[in-house]
Homo-oligomer: A and B are copies of this chain.
Amino acid sequence: MAEENTVYIGNKETMAYVMAVVNQFNSGSDEVFIKARGRAISKAVDVAEITKNRFLKEASIAGIETDTEEIEQEEDDRTVNVSSMSITLSLEP
């Protein structure tokens, strides 16, 4: 079920992800997970801040977690460590 209310941040522009998060809430989710790795983490924070400040004032950040993931590189099979982040936006007070 978690996958259904999860928005993964990639290379699209910020507002595309804001809209995806708003749509998740509008389709009935009480909380939405915004997930990103590496440089996309900054954009994930923008998405959370813009969503709660401009579109869903009743939403708030219920939690932020970070982790380190090992990513296998295609070129040489070596693994590199990449930081990841999950931001939980919630409608609960």
A45-B83, A46-B83, A83-B45 as given contacts; A68 in contact with B53, CB under 8 Å: yes
In the assembled complex, the Cα of A53 lies from the Cα of B48 at a distance in Å of: 26
User: How many copies of this chain are found per oligomer?
Assistant: 2
In the assembled complex, the Cα of A66 lies from the Cα of B65 at a distance in Å of: 12
Please name 20 further chain A to chain B contacts, defined as beta carbons within 8 Å, in addition to the given A40-B42, A53-B68, sorted by A numbering: A39-B39, A39-B42, A41-B41, A41-B42, A41-B45, A42-B42, A42-B83, A45-B66, A45-B83, A45-B85, A46-B83, A48-B66, A49-B66, A49-B67, A49-B68, A49-B81, A64-B64, A64-B65, A64-B66, A66-B87
Interface assignment of A22: CB less than 8 Å from any CB of chain B? no
**A47-67 interface (Cβ within 8 A of B):** 48-49, 53, 61, 64-67
By a CB distance below 8 angstroms, the chain B residues around A49 are 66-68, 81, 83
